[in-house]
Amino acid sequence: MRYMTRHSAWALLLALSFLATVPGCASPRSQEQAPDPAIAEQLAFQDLCMSYQKSMAEHQPAKARAAAEQLFAKEPQPWVQVLLAMTWAAEENRDEAFRMLYAAIASIAHSPIDAGPIVVDLAESLESGDEWTSLRSDPRFPALLAQAKAATWHPELLAFEAAPAADPVRMKRPATDSETLRTLRETYKLDAVVAGAADDLDRIRRMCRWVHARTSHQGWDGDLPSDALGLLQVAEKGGQWRCVEYGTVLAGCLNAVGIPARQVGGRARDAETIAVGAGHVFAEAWIADRQRWMFVDAQMDIVGLDSDGTPMNSVEFRNSLSRPTPPIPYPLGLAFCMNYFVASFEATDGTRTSIMLGPIGSKMPTKFQRVPNRAPDHFTHRLADFYAAPAP
């Protein structure tokens, strides 16, 4: 599937959550009274981003430009230059729009990965985003697009240790007869969602599609419930979710119909220093007859199947994106956020736990988007540690 082919550059700001997008990360908004200057700075940063988005939505590009200029003063990065270019394009000031875009592309070309997730696929935005319609008839556009394509970041293959697990942390199989899961299952008739499915893979696919259809996505930090039932009730009233909530709801619904599932977050390589868009959240489901975990992203309505039909876990899915022709198209901005992986679940001893998997040679991040965050309970480079089967 293609992703955000209309309004794509602006929409990517919404697609990449600003704040607590990864299990184990503290939300700056939830710590507004904390004295930490990093939190205060991040809150001010978020407010400017929201002001920009609101102004663009209300067709006030000059007001949006004022917010973007303040952002650029704080963060002189190419993605902010792209936001500024959008304001000029909205006013059909092509000269200024091209000037800003050329400056942004030069920075991206110098170091695509340092440019950050917002602009890793600027060429796609330029080709299909409605925000650039006024520029496409300009004779300068083909050369601009060619430079943007040459600067595009492409996922590299990530390497992890293949050694057997030393002391794997195993997920406790959720009790489908628990009050929480029974209420969720009965309230939303989840048995009917998967009725008639051929196998667990088919059930997972159907549940992913059902959760995807409940609402639409928004990328800001909202005052939302933290449980699947509460979030579905919010969606019924017209509320929207971040990727975090899609992961929460999908994992909860799968657990409710007897398929072990867990919320998983991805973090960018430089998640400690990136200001915005450093994480994405999805889920993994356990396929019993295949004895393996499978990547499932309800926000994108994607289940991780390789080209030969083999279910892929999150790491396998991420590495499949490094192929010349990936089996499933996926937004580069989200792939950018899949360098570290953090799973959150109830362990066999009944405690809530989290485990982070990092590529060989990486160190455990201590911050997320410049804000200190709670460390995971376990950090490993071994795939077997991260992908232990749920307890019988």
27-40 per-position pLDDT tens digit: 444 444 445 787 88
* pLDDT value at residue 221: 55
Confirm whether pTM is higher than 0.85: yes
What is the C-alpha to C-alpha distance for residues 391 and 335, in angstroms, rounded to an integer? Answer: 30
User: How many percent of the chain have pLDDT more than 90?
Assistant: 77
Does the pLDDT value for residue 99 go beyond 60?
yes
CB 388 within 8 A of CB 365: no
Angle at 244 between CA 321 and CA 12, to 5 degrees: 55
Instruction: Give residue 385's pLDDT.
Output: 96
Dihedral of the CA atoms 239, 243, 247, 250 (nearest 10)?
A: 50
Mean residue pLDDT of the chain comes to 90
Write down the pLDDT at residue 35.
55
Which helix (H) or strand (E) segment is 41 a member of? helix 37-57
What single DSSP character describes residue 311?
B
Q: Report which DSSP code applies to 217.
A: B
CATH 3.30.70 fits 179-386, yes or no: no
